């Protein structure tokens, strides 16, 4: 947490987002969530859904339309399908590279990469995380990909870069409405999007509430 906020928030919960797995958590407006990347290499696919209407969720196409950028920063909150801010980055010690262009990895991607059996995916992790909260959702929305470095070249093609964050880098996300935040510690171990050694790794989640709140 920012030093000036240290007295204003209390730690409610901490959990490990195990390599290759996902988790969804309910967040009230004003709560904050610290997402730590202990190795600096791990990409985290992210979604938020409003608790009032599961069909209002973070929208990458609306994000790019509202902010005229492809990168999520502290100046560009993630907006919903109704163009409302749902999640802001209030602190970021990472490389500051967070992608909004690439889809969540899914069974079809792994099949195209030559996997014949089951392979964990960010899409499955989203739906498993929501299912743990008793929620079924019919599709996989486009994620924000925290810590994932993707550049747009001048000719419009995409450059998938290696992770660029230092070990221990973290983001602090603030819920701007009562929402569900869903995370997938990307299980991609065939391409180097999670680092040259192609090894998914654990990340850490800490949840904070404003001091004095219930
Ligand atoms: Zn993935």
* Ligand 1 midpoint to CA 134 (Å): 23
Per-domain residue ranges of the chain = 10-209
CA distance 140 to 84: 20
Smallest CA-to-CA distance from 145 within 91, 206, 188 is with 188
Q: How far is the CA of 3 from the centre of ligand 1 (A)?
A: 33
Q: How far is the CA of 94 from the centre of ligand 1 (A)?
A: 19
pLDDT of amino acid 196: 86
Q: Which 3 state secondary structure label does DSSP give 188?
A: coil
**Average pLDDT value for the chain:** 94
How many angstroms separate the alpha carbon of residue 31 from the centre of ligand 1? 26
> Does residue 4 carry a pLDDT above 60?
no
Map residue 76 onto helix, strand or coil: coil
pLDDT of residue 1: 54
Secondary structure of residue 69 in the 3-state scheme: coil
What number of other Cβ atoms are within 10 A of residue 56's Cβ?
A: 18
| Ion ligand 1 contact residues with beta carbon within 5 A | 105, 122, 186, 188
Alpha carbon distance 152, 194 (integer Å)? 19
Percent of the chain predicted with pLDDT > 90: 85
For 33-58, what is each residue's pLDDT tens digit? 999 999 999 999 999 999 999 999 99
| Alpha carbon of 151 to ligand 1 centroid (Å) | 18
pLDDT at 5: 55
What is the spatial distance between Cα 206 and Cα 16, in angstroms, rounded to a whole number?
Answer: 9
SS3 sequence of 117-137? CCCCCHHHHHHHHHHHCCCCC
Radius of gyration of the chain (CA): 16
Cα end-to-end distance, the chain, whole Å: 20
pLDDT per residue as tens digits for the range 152-181:
999 999 999 888 889 999 999 999 999 999
Distance (angstroms) between ligand 1 centre and the Cα of 128 equals: 14
Taking the C-alpha atoms of residue 176 and residue 32, their distance in angstroms, rounded to an integer, is 9
**Ligand 1 center to 160 CA (angstroms):** 14
Give me ligand 1 centre to Cα 114, in Å.
Answer: 16
């Amino acid at each position: 947490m920012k030093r000036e906020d240290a007295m204003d928030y209390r730690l409610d919960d901490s959990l490990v987002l195990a390599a290759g797995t996902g988790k969804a958590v309910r967040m009230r407006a004003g709560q904050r969530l610290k997402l730590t990347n202990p190795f600096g290499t791990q990409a985290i696919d992210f979604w938020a859904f409003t608790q009032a209407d599961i069909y209002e969720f973070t929208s990458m196409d609306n994000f790019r339309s509202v902010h005229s950028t492809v990168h999520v920063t502290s100046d560009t909150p993630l907006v919903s399908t109704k163009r409302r801010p749902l999640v802001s980055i209030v602190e970021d010690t990472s490389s500051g590279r967070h992608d909004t262009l690439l889809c969540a990895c899914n069974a079809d991607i792994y099949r195209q990469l030559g996997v014949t059996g089951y392979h964990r995916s960010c899409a499955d992790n989203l739906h498993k995380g929501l299912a743990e909260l008793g929620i079924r959702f019919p599709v996989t929305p486009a994620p924000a990909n925290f810590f994932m470095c993707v550049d747009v070249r001048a000719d419009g093609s995409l450059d998938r870069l290696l992770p660029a964050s230092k070990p221990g880098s973290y983001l602090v996300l603030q819920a701007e409405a009562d929402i569900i935040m869903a995370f997938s510690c990307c299980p991609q171990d065939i391409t180097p999007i999670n680092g040259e050694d192609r090894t998914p790794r654990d990340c850490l989640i800490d949840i904070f509430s404003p001091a004095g709140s219930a």
